Amino acid sequence: MAGIYLHIPFCRQACHYCNFHFSTSLQLKNDFVYALLKEMELQKNYLAGEPVSTVYFGGGTPSLLSEKELSTLLQALRLQFYILPDAECTLEANPDDINPVKLAAWKQAGINRLSIGVQSFYEEDLRWMNRAHSADQAVNCIKAAQDAGITNLTIDLIYGAPTLPDDHWRHNVQTAIDLHIPHLSCYALTVEPGTALNAFIKKNQVRDINTDDQARQFLLLMDWMQQAGYEHYEISNFALPGMRSKHNSAYWQGATYLGLGPSAHSFNGRERQWNISNNALYIKSVNEGLVPFEKEVLTDTQRLNEYIMTSLRTVEGLDLDYVQRAFNTTVHANKFIKEGKLKEEGSRLVLTREGKLFADGIAADLFV
């Protein structure tokens, strides 16, 4: 089963922490939608007829698309690719874009899952992040989606920000639980080069993040979610039974996927390619019949290291038997087992509670 990701590179305003590819000018939006339709035609053979079980509109802010634009894109996907009737179809949406009219149109078009960028239920956090929505909208949009019959919801929450004490973090998580949201993606605030947040910190205009605070809030998060019956199935992701993200899970399992739109990535098992991160040049190139991408053929070592990185982040862990079969090698992890950061479960290596604090570092140390 394959997946399709569509990158919608527009936002109403720039969040201070964000380093994804986007533009706050909507001037090229109509031209972009046309180019995206054209890219579907140009890339229709990439998946070689493999059934598509997940479609994901990411960004940027896909909820900025008009109801007609979104419906047109979904119809074109069904025309160019074999989209399964029960495919998971996710739309990333900001709370300020969600209303009963749009919800009805999204559902009619085939959207059956929403990923809502809440980040916090506190007004001071949202202002500090430069989010476009209010705390009231964060709650009301979730209730509106549920009332519209879209109950397969996930929200993003950010922890470890200087404005977020532990009791506020607890309130954010408990609010999500009380709203019966079946899936949460929770991320530690990171300071990325080139972002407004990075500039503010360098100028001492805002406090830098505190890694000890982030570690503590992550440990608290794991406890709270376990007590509420959520499965911690990937480092940043929690789901009630049966409510994992099928699209993201496919990434972690190494499935084939096609990325459409500027900056979108594609993977076919051996090769990875990524489109140019420039809206105007993307539109111009696609309209001339050429998808503007760079490509990398992965070596066996790169494929193994990617498997180590992604598998260790999941609850299933790293399958040593698979490593032996696929790559004819072994992974030496005795150091981390002795330190209590990894544990052996049959033929698998799984991060312990403490180990989850060091997931990326452990993976990097295990690279071959």
Express each pLDDT in 155-202 by its tens digit: 999 999 999 999 999 999 999 999 999 999 999 999 889 888 888 888
C-alpha dist (Å) from residue 88 to 1, 54, 59, 269: 12, 5, 18, 21
Q: Inform me whether the pLDDT recorded for 14 exceeds 90.
A: no
Compute CA 238 distance to the chain's CA centroid, rounded to the nearest angstrom.
Answer: 13
Burial of 93 (0-12, 13-18, 19+ CB in 10 A): buried
Rounded to the nearest 10°, the torsion over CA 178, 179, 180, 182 is -110
pLDDT mean across residues, the chain = 96
Cα 268 to Cα 49: distance, rounded to the nearest angstrom = 13
Give, in words, the CATH class of 300-366. Answer: mainly alpha
pLDDT given at position 275: 98
pLDDT digits (tens, 9 = 90+) for 221-264: 999 999 999 999 999 999 999 999 999 999 999 999 999 999 99
pLDDT given at position 318: 97
pLDDT given at position 200: 86
344 beta partners: 349
Q: Which CATH architecture has domain 2-252?
A: Alpha-Beta Barrel (3.20)
Give the rounded percent of residues in the chain with a pLDDT score beyond 70: 100
Residue with tokens 């997940």: 54
Compute CA 359 distance to the chain's CA centroid, rounded to the nearest angstrom.
Answer: 18
pLDDT given at position 22: 87
Cis peptide preceding 60, ω within 30 of 0: yes
pLDDT given at position 337: 97
Q: Inform me whether the pLDDT recorded for 90 exceeds 90.
A: yes
Rounded to 10 deg, the angle between the 100-109 and 67-80 helix axes is 10
Q: What is the DSSP string of 95-114?
A: GGG--HHHHHHHHHHT--EE
Angle at 104 between CA 98 and CA 106, to 5 degrees: 75
Burial of 246 (0-12, 13-18, 19+ CB in 10 A): middle
Amino acid present at 67: E
Spatial contact of 190 and 159, defined as CB atoms under 8 Å apart: no
Give the rounded percent of residues in the chain with a pLDDT score beyond 90: 92
Q: Inform me whether the pLDDT recorded for 43 exceeds 90.
A: yes
Cα 209 to Cα 258: distance, rounded to the nearest angstrom = 35
pLDDT digits (tens, 9 = 90+) for 276-321: 999 999 999 999 999 999 999 999 999 999 999 999 999 999 999 9
Q: Inform me whether the pLDDT recorded for 19 exceeds 90.
A: no
Q: Tell me the domain boundaries of the chain.
A: 2-252, 300-366
Mean pLDDT value across residues 70-78: 98
pLDDT given at position 126: 96
The whole model's pTM is what? 0.96
Confidence bin at 109 (pLDDT 50/70/90): very high
Cα 279 to Cα 351: distance, rounded to the nearest angstrom = 40
